């Protein structure tokens, strides 16, 4: 899904990635996040990944609305993530997905 926000229903984990096509760090973050989200969503969606290219009108307007000044920029459930997209961030997503799966079993 690219550049669309829908009602979250029962999905408390929403990851938004702001990027540009010619940004190497953006492409690396996109690849890592997309791969992890795909793995965690195997079978059913527990994380919704939304990507915005800030060089498009829609992406630019959304980035401006959220105060994004540089890319890559990542938001998790509405909160700006500060830091590298590395093991710590991926573990955070995995823990969140695990908690959501436990909640759904109740």
Residue 101 falls inside a structural domain: yes
The number of domains in the chain is 1
Tell whether 68 is covered by a domain: yes
**pLDDT number for residue 66:** 96
pLDDT at 45 over 90: no
E strand spans, the chain: 14-19, 48-53, 73-76, 79-81
For residue 65, give its domain range. Answer: 14-105
DSSP-assigned letter for residue 26: H
Per-residue model confidence (pLDDT) at position 8: 43
Burial of 45 (C-beta count, 10 Å sphere; 0-12/13-18/19+): middle
Evaluate whether residue 50 is within a structural domain: yes
Q: What CATH number does residue 69 fall under?
A: 3.40.30.10
Q: Is residue 3 part of a domain?
A: no
Mean pLDDT for 50-73 is: 97
Position 70 pLDDT exceeds 80: yes
pLDDT in tens, 33-43: 999 999 888 87
- Note if the pTM is more than 0.95: no
């Amino acid at each position: 899904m690219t550049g669309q926000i829908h009602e979250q229903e029962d999905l408390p984990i929403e990851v938004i990635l702001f990027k540009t096509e010619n940004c190497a760090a953006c492409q690396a973050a996109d690849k890592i996040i997309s791969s992890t989200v795909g793995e965690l969503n195997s079978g059913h969606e527990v994380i919704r990944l939304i990507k915005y290219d800030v060089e498009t009108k829609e992406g630019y307007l959304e980035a401006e609305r959220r105060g994004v000044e540089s890319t890559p920029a990542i938001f998790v459930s509405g909160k700006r993530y500060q830091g590298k997209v590395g093991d710590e961030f991926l573990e955070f997503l995995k823990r969140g997905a695990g908690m959501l799966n436990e909640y759904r079993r109740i």
